[in-house]
Structure 1
Amino acid sequence: MEKNIIRIVKLIIGLFVYAVGVVMTINANLGLSPWDVFHQGLSGVINITLGQASIAVAFLITVLDIVLGQPIGWATIVNMLSIGTFMDILMINNLIPTANGLFTGLLMILLGLIVQGYGCWLYVNVGLGVGPRDGLMVILTKRTGKTVRFNKSVIELGAVIIGYLLGGSIGIGTVVMAFLGGPIFQLVFKTVNFNVEEVNHRFIQEDIRFLKEKLKSKEAN
């Protein structure tokens, strides 16, 4: 029980840290990340907050993950609900400063990506599944036989195009994040000696199977 509590606390902290990094890149005012271009465009069209748009998109992608056969974990559900909520709390209360120049904006983007990297390490390391968007990338890689980089690029390019058509903001920051996001995450993971492929995730399907076996065992007795 104590181990599970520690994992949950670490998960929540990691997702909050990740949200802080996301808001830092938004407040850099140099263009949004590929997914946030989509979130902003959607939020403007249906008149909801950026965080609520993030939750809505994450929900739809989670459903798509399940349909395509990608196992999801409890962290996937918590990720779907909490990052957007944390983003709204941070942005509505102006808890993250806003950049007002090119240099400070680029600095905020770089720091924001580093913060996201550490947040990702914290929540993925608990072994309760990955985020909806990462899950989509994984299952498409399995289904198409294409590389992770190819599928990630196609997904994010699609998000940028749709988001821009809906009114989302793009700029130099969008390009910087698209090219530097992966390398910075990799560098962050090296600083904590973290290998994503070594994490053994526990998925919701396993818990359901475990409960069914327990029920069968009780009925048999």
Structure 2
Amino acid sequence: MFLKIKNIPSVSWSSDKPLNLKPKISTSFFLCFGLTLFGLGEGLLIVSASGASPWSVLAQGLYLNFGFSVGTITIFISFIVLLLWFPLNQKPGIGTILNALIIGLMIDVCIRYVQAPENYIYQILLGAFAVLTVGIGGGIYLVANLGAGPRDGLMIGLQKKTNLPIALVRAALEITVMSIGWYLGGTVGVGTLLFAFGIGPCVALGLFLVNKLFN
């Protein structure tokens, strides 16, 4: 079962090491493709009006208190989370930097150009699609092995320390962040709950599918 996955699989286009300054073209392509899907899903969840992702709820809460755009604050949060990597012995790579930049950019693009559905059912459906998109995108870029994004690196580091399934570790992180963001005034809705409880299984599904397709 994909819900029991504890390790990031390795496929033909995976990098041999995260700190690879000259990755193969195929590796770079899948890294950027996965990150674009990830950011698209995050942005679609916001514009679905069903509730932002937990990390975006945190960004919204900080926006209400400090200003700047949600995408810009998302980039700031990403670099702050990197500080939590040190006690977990996580190593950054090209993907770590691109994660913060591409996801933040895609969120702002979606907010600017994608209209929110007026029908509540369509809002929920778009929210569910967004969560799945983030999960699949996450699975693709993590398998590239060019360095996890700040949040995913935190997830992987905690998984290695606890030896718990990736799905469970990710869910615990999202619920915690969602609670903090809600306290600061961020928007919480059905989509937020879908993300908090569904992103762990969706990332695990993304890893499972990539492993099946390329191995």
TM-score, normalised relative to structure 1: 0.76
Q: Which residue of the other structure, out of 56, 59, 64, is the alignment partner of 1:36?
A: 56
How far residue 139 of structure 1 moved from its aligned partner, in angstroms, is 1.9
Partner of residue 75, structure 2: 55
Partner of residue 4, structure 2: none
How far residue 146 of structure 1 moved from its aligned partner, in angstroms, is 5.6
Whether the 8 Å contact between 1:62 and 1:132 is mirrored in structure 2 is yes
Q: Which residue of the other structure, out of 129, 134, 159, is the alignment partner of 2:177?
A: 159
Partner of residue 217, structure 1: none
Whether the 8 Å contact between 1:121 and 1:194 is mirrored in structure 2 is no
Structure 2 residue 154 is matched with structure 1 residue 168? no
Matches within 5 A, 1:1-221: 4-92=24-112, 94=113, 96-144=114-162, 148-194=166-212
How far residue 103 of structure 1 moved from its aligned partner, in angstroms, is 0.8
1:42-101 deviation per Cα after TM superposition (whole angstroms, max 9, x unaligned):
122110111111111110111221343212222112112221122213322x1x231222
- Residues 59/52 of structure 1: CA separation in 2 closer, same or farther (3 Å cut): same
Structure 2: distance between partners of 1:47 and 1:97: 23
Whether the 8 Å contact between 2:159 and 2:166 is mirrored in structure 1 is yes
Partner of residue 14, structure 2: none
Structure 1: distance between partners of 2:121 and 2:94: 39
- Residues 174/65 of structure 1: CA separation in 2 closer, same or farther (3 Å cut): same
Between stretches 51-60 and 64-73, larger displacement belongs to 64-73
Larger radius of gyration, structure 1 or 2?
1
Structure 1: distance between partners of 2:84 and 2:51: 28
Structure 1: distance between partners of 2:173 and 2:185: 18
1:101-143 deviation per Cα after TM superposition (whole angstroms, max 9, x unaligned):
2210111012112222332233222221212112112222334
Whether the 8 Å contact between 2:59 and 2:73 is mirrored in structure 1 is yes
How far residue 170 of structure 1 moved from its aligned partner, in angstroms, is 0.6
How far residue 169 of structure 1 moved from its aligned partner, in angstroms, is 0.6
Equivalenced residues, count: 194
Between stretches 169-178 and 48-57, larger displacement belongs to 169-178
TM-score, normalised relative to structure 2: 0.78
- Residues 142/183 of structure 1: CA separation in 2 closer, same or farther (3 Å cut): closer
How far residue 183 of structure 1 moved from its aligned partner, in angstroms, is 2.8
RMSD (Å), alpha carbons: 2.6
Whether the 8 Å contact between 2:38 and 2:103 is mirrored in structure 1 is yes
How far residue 148 of structure 1 moved from its aligned partner, in angstroms, is 4.3
Partner of residue 5, structure 2: none
How far residue 189 of structure 1 moved from its aligned partner, in angstroms, is 4.2
| Letter matched to residue 160 of structure 2 | K
Identical-pair percentage: 31
Structure 2: distance between partners of 1:166 and 1:149: 26
Give the secondary structure class of the aligned counterpart of 1:125: helix
